[in-house]
Structure 1
């Protein structure tokens, strides 16, 4: 191996070396900011941490160069309080076991990848994991990669948990799990939610590890302090609406029965239907007027129906009004992958699951559920009426009336549009909440503008950038948007919240829950629109602190 090794330099030499992230998925903002290499003593003096964990990774290598890590550890422990000492080398830990009081300093054997050979025993770490009684002779605990506990298939799916935690606990060994990072693809089972992953290790109803080694301590801290062992009957629930975006479209193809059922199961308050019109006048749910966006139509018998209508979108498309409803029903859904440019894909096992639903089917699905409402999005109404002879607003009102939704008191009906004329036309036709969508980023609004909005809408949907704008993916100052609209008694819903870490500002530590908390508790928004409603609903029903992320 070639490189620069610490043994080739003195500490004085390294005083001119500064630290960098060195990980492409993280911000380079702090690289070259004169962050020095610190000794253990300097960490204690400057940061005053509640505890110090020393990890001795290469004792045998240093010994070959006449450097004693044993002497270093013994010397350091006399000048600073050391809570934990870990090493992947058996002989190193055995050489110091008699020098430490286990009640004050715990020795932890660190397991590396299963196929790697431990240098002092010439056994693989996998083999050693089956002989925990031997580990107990010189260690108080084990530190294992998280995959030792929940194995993951090559296809990136979690398998049932192993027995290593219970086996270790039975003989008195503590278990610490490592390799928790937020900005790398998680197993598809976790839907890009690092809180969901963490809870598998600390709140699964069977066992809990004793500690977590993480690059993003805020996530594991909030999981432990705010979410673990808190049921849905928690009395201090955060008050805001969880509104789906094309159903649970982060887990299933958009606007399918599977996506809507998942959103309901995940605890969404409101599920949404972007209403499109078929050639024969049937309103149905689909994420766009262009059927090429989330179906296999480009590979189907209807692929020759491509047209270009610049009034609707640039470039060729196959529009919803080019197919009858029965033809639409024959299409196979395709899961959306909005961040595939970053090699982040949504659950491929579900990529073609479900079937498209008509508006009538959608409303029937929503009845007699835990939902508090439905949201219908209407766009392109003027074009459809003038050029295709299809009145989407009339069709929506007719289906709502036939389904008995026009005067419901038990379920809220929300109708959203970027076109004020749509909302004006619907006003007075039922007890509906009319949501005006502002499709550009704003920082404030003139009083006269807000008064005009209030004349045709009951609430407003805005972008995340309209509330907490960013510059180079870092947050700047909060805008006046929420305060201004709420001052006029207009609830504010914000979109779009996704779990993929590349969708979030650096300030949120690649954690969707931190982002949601910042908008709900920090900015005071009234609802979030999300393609992963489970994450927002878990925050709403399980989050046990009314004051930020300081829960206990």
Structure 2
């Protein structure tokens, strides 16, 4: 409990700093969104990166730590008696303890044409689900908050108990519920009468069309794109082909929700490729663009140097376009990006300019002390390049992060593998050291990296214009 209170205190401190930044400067005119307003933060299941998705505490913390206009996201599933609950998946067993509460109610159903086994909401009434508690559904995240009896919430619970600034309902499996004689359309139309719903998204064209004429004027419909090769059931077209017909999408939706890779794709080695024209094309059609799949604890492009704020900024403040909103498991991070780090230098006054010193070049993006790492650091605007200096056998100082070549090269698999020695003063275990090979021999080695790229080790002379004047040289004779 003490750890939880400490964590909550730290998060609230962050939100207090965020609140201090809010409203400090009117940045509306600087945004390249469709309407010129700042992008929205949509909290997927609340603060689901930390707490069980769609739990009361996840939703509450999202409201406390995000922008004042944060939108709470609810993945809607229908129960056996037609109640709409907020739950992240069509199967209940991954993010709850339902398998323990109802051991013999597992079923197998066809979902999007494929058999799926598990515990489904269509087999339980809302009253039965009252004994089920929510758990963290992503196993790489902490389960510390499981077992806290967080109950499954209905759409009405979220709207009335939490009074969110905005509410977004995602309808992912309308066709599945129709097969079980449950109408998602009827539920949504009924919810319109008791709940303010700001956004409704779905990957099914027919569902959005079915509610278009009956929705309130303040509710926006958003077409959700899945994988580009997946088939949209209503049109029997791939989502990739529908992306090329945004004029058609505009007839039933006011916006699109796309995976972030639709906008900034990456190659097989997780490096960014040039951005696509998706946002610019959609804005030309008058469609808002929302990007999904943001999470601080999931690998993203190395170009961002493991900094999720930098990733968000590439979607909202890149000088060419800005998405209209981001869907995140960690809503505090895009809130910071939008309100604290965007447009720096464009509207700030008296900002301090720190001296930026690299760490082995841009070693968060490329192997340290290589040509690509140093070139990237220079292009990023570094003031000073660092160089951990090692000496070769022929007396040439080089930039390398370790005196032991085994740490960063394939020397152990090379013809120099018999150069192994033990020097207790340097390393407890065996090593092959830079002073045992000449510069030309070291240049023949390959850096350790699972990429089809060639990286060059650099000599000190090549970096002289950027080096600090007080480098410490370690010379071993």
TM-score, normalised via structure 1 length = 0.60
The DSSP-based 3-state class of the residue aligned with 2:159 is helix
- What's the CA shift for 1:15? 1.8
- What's the CA shift for 1:9? 0.9
2:192 and 2:215 in contact (8 A); partners too: no
Please name the residue that 1:301 is paired with.
415
1:254 and 1:335 in contact (8 A); partners too: no
Please name the residue that 1:172 is paired with.
286
**Judging changes above 3 Å, is the alpha-carbon distance between structure 1 residues 260 and 139 closer, same or farther for their aligned structure 2 residues?**
closer
**Judging changes above 3 Å, is the alpha-carbon distance between structure 1 residues 335 and 271 closer, same or farther for their aligned structure 2 residues?**
farther
1:179 and 1:214 in contact (8 A); partners too: yes
Please name the residue that 2:247 is paired with.
133
Please name the residue that 1:248 is paired with.
362
Please name the residue that 1:334 is paired with.
447
The higher radius of gyration belongs to 1
Of the three residues 119, 128, 139, the one matched with 2:233 is 119
12-21 or 281-290, larger mean C-alpha shift: 281-290
- Residues in 1 aligned to 2:469 and 2:425: alpha-carbon distance in whole angstroms: 29
Q: What's the CA shift string for 1:222-248, capped at 9, x where partnerless?
A: 222233333389435467554332222
Of the three residues 439, 450, 466, the one matched with 1:366 is 466
- Residues in 1 aligned to 2:246 and 2:284: alpha-carbon distance in whole angstroms: 10
1:176 and 1:210 in contact (8 A); partners too: yes
* Match status 1:144 vs 2:144: no
Please name the residue that 2:110 is paired with.
none
Please name the residue that 2:123 is paired with.
8
Please name the residue that 2:66 is paired with.
none
Q: How does 1:75-474 map to 2 (within 5 A)?
A: 75-102=190-217, 104-231=218-345, 234-235=348-349, 237=351, 242-328=356-442, 330-332=443-445, 334-335=447-448, 348=451, 350=453, 352-358=454-460, 360-362=461-463, 364-366=464-466, 373=468, 376=471, 384=476, 390=477
**Judging changes above 3 Å, is the alpha-carbon distance between structure 1 residues 335 and 376 closer, same or farther for their aligned structure 2 residues?**
farther
1:272 and 1:374 in contact (8 A); partners too: no
- Residues in 1 aligned to 2:445 and 2:145: alpha-carbon distance in whole angstroms: 46
**Judging changes above 3 Å, is the alpha-carbon distance between structure 1 residues 299 and 180 closer, same or farther for their aligned structure 2 residues?**
same
- Residues in 2 aligned to 1:349 and 1:46: alpha-carbon distance in whole angstroms: 54
- Residues in 1 aligned to 2:346 and 2:249: alpha-carbon distance in whole angstroms: 40
- What's the CA shift for 1:85? 0.9
1:253 and 1:333 in contact (8 A); partners too: no
Higher helix share: 1
**Judging changes above 3 Å, is the alpha-carbon distance between structure 1 residues 208 and 240 closer, same or farther for their aligned structure 2 residues?**
closer
2:371 and 2:455 in contact (8 A); partners too: no
Q: What's the CA shift string for 1:340-364, capped at 9, x where partnerless?
A: xxxxx7xx355x3122313x544x2
Please name the residue that 1:54 is paired with.
169
**Judging changes above 3 Å, is the alpha-carbon distance between structure 1 residues 238 and 123 closer, same or farther for their aligned structure 2 residues?**
same
- Residues in 1 aligned to 2:253 and 2:275: alpha-carbon distance in whole angstroms: 23
- Residues in 2 aligned to 1:183 and 1:75: alpha-carbon distance in whole angstroms: 37
Q: What's the CA shift string for 1:26-63, capped at 9, x where partnerless?
A: 22222222222111222233333210001111112112
1:253 and 1:354 in contact (8 A); partners too: no
- Residues in 2 aligned to 1:349 and 1:317: alpha-carbon distance in whole angstroms: 26
- Residues in 1 aligned to 2:259 and 2:241: alpha-carbon distance in whole angstroms: 15
Matched residue count: 362
TM-score, normalised via structure 2 length = 0.68
The DSSP-based 3-state class of the residue aligned with 2:249 is helix
Q: What's the CA shift string for 1:235-276, capped at 9, x where partnerless?
A: 354675543322222233322344334323323344322232
- Residues in 2 aligned to 1:107 and 1:288: alpha-carbon distance in whole angstroms: 56
Q: What's the CA shift string for 1:149-199, capped at 9, x where partnerless?
A: 334444444433333323322222212121222222223444433333323
* Match status 1:32 vs 2:147: yes
- Residues in 2 aligned to 1:121 and 1:158: alpha-carbon distance in whole angstroms: 32
- Residues in 1 aligned to 2:296 and 2:191: alpha-carbon distance in whole angstroms: 32
Consecutive unaligned residues of structure 2, counting only runs of 5 or more, are 1-115
The DSSP-based 3-state class of the residue aligned with 1:317 is coil
